[in-house]
Amino acid sequence: MKVLITDKINESAKDIIGDAAICDFLPTMSEDELVQKIGEYDALMVRSQTKVTKKIIEAGKSLKIIGRAGVGVDNIDLETATKCGIIVVNSPDGNTHAAAEHTVAMMLSLSRNIPQAYETIKQGLWERSKFTGVEVFGKTLGVIGFGKIGQHVAKVAQALGMNIVVYDPYTTKELVENLCAFYCSTLDEFWGQCDYISIHTPKTKETISLINKNTINRMKKGVKIINCARGGIIDEAALCEAIKEGQVSGAAIDVFENEPDIKSSPLFGCVDKCVLTPHLGASTSEAQINVAVDVAKQIREVLLGGEAKSAVNLPQMKPEKLEPVKDYMGLAQNISQMASQIASGNIQSVEITVMGELAQVDATPIEIAVLKGVFDYRVGSVNYVNAPLIAKERGIKVTTIKSNQNVPSCGVITVKIITSENETIVRGAMLAKDIYRITKINNFSTSIMPDSNMLLIPHENKPSMVAKVAQIIGEKGININSMQVNNDTKSQNNESIMILNVPCEVKDDVIQKLNQIDGVKSSKYIKLSV
């Protein structure tokens, strides 16, 4: 067997794989060159430089596994790999300490003007008074995102005498308080408390430009901002303007919107008040060894007929367990994606109920698919393997119930998400093989096919509502593929819901216009993976 390594990876990887396969190191290959070579290999190991495209994967007729020596796998076409039955693995924990330590180092460097002072020393100058800093002791650090890295940063900051406040819609209050931090249920509550803000969230639809002109203006004057997570979470132009105006006293930034083109960043124009590094969060010798060793061990294990512990695209379960429920995995993921996008507030628990034929088999794969759906479009880098771990890390209670209730379909799945604000219920049913429908959304009975792009429009049941909605949609050039209007039969409030399947994404400005219709109550655009 043969393994191809196309990026610079610690030599220990070759030693680990060596007794199971021949390792070839061929760096800086173009896509076409890799397409020509990949057919010879059973495994491919990369870091971030190699883009493992659909063309490359389909050419790898002998590929069994692709390993990414790092956390992210955005440079690998997961969908194609999965369709081809190729396992994709990463190293989710290998650089946790490195990223957390870099965050703390950036915060301290920013506070004490270390880079700026060093530059003057290099010039032979002694400008001590110019670089008077501030202490972090007694200050409040706001942590956005309370996964492994965010928790580690919080612990170190506490050791430095800082107070910690946390915002994470997927973390429970109990988990935060157990770590002696203060839990904020909303960003409005969070912004004004922080002397420092550190970001530890993935880049998702919800977090793009989370730090912008409006949110910055709600922060404490003189706040310092640190981002060692992902570029694009901060609106760099807005941050630069806020620094120049004094609303933000400084920033420590390791990740940028357009890497590696640092000169295109607005922050390049206000470096005197910033500490900027070229995406060094995971760049320690220890982290590079850790991720290389971790992935190399998984490649070796798979090539020898074993299982990978950190597969990101295929669930780790025996075929006999997956077989009875495999047709329901898509349904489970779709209804939980919808429930998660409808729900507001911080998720506290997820309750899954299975009925019909699903009550007679092991529902573990269904639970995993539901959790993946709950975190899709929210957490980022979620997969069948890490979804249960994400729930556990954030203290989210997960319950699966088997019901013997008779149902007029093959199997039924109900997902209930309980948050700090409300509860959301979505139910789906398999009517026949490969034919399933969403049959309930909260108190509304429905029968609608899941689609990639959907609009949910709760409204008062009165004349002309459909016409008003259709007019706005039509003015924006959006066709309506299908529509249902369903009444809330259990309520006396004369409420209905309009459910539309549309062929494209619906932008926020359209949602805002729909919500201005008299009688419309909080329209939602729902994106499903289908």
Task: Give the active site residues.
Answer: 230, 259, 279
Phi, psi of 399 (to 5 degrees): -130, 135
Crossing angle of the two packed helices 364-375 and 329-342, in degrees rounded to 10: 40
HSE toward the beta carbon, residue 480, CA cutoff 13 A:
17
Residue 77: DSSP 8-state: -
The whole-angstrom separation of Cα 225 and Cα 208 is 16
Residues 158-174: b if buried by 16+ CB within 10 A, e if exposed: eeeebbbbbbbbbbbbe
Dig out the tokens for 372 from the structure. 């993946």
Beta bridge partners of 142: 165, 197
HSE toward the beta carbon, residue 253, CA cutoff 13 A: 28
Among 118, 111, 109, residue whose Cα is nearest residue 134: 111
Check: CB of residue 449 under 8 Å from CB of residue 499: no
Q: Which helix (H) or strand (E) holds 49?
A: none
Give CA 219 to chain center in angstroms: 25
* Cα torsion angle, 187, 104, 163, 93, sign: positive
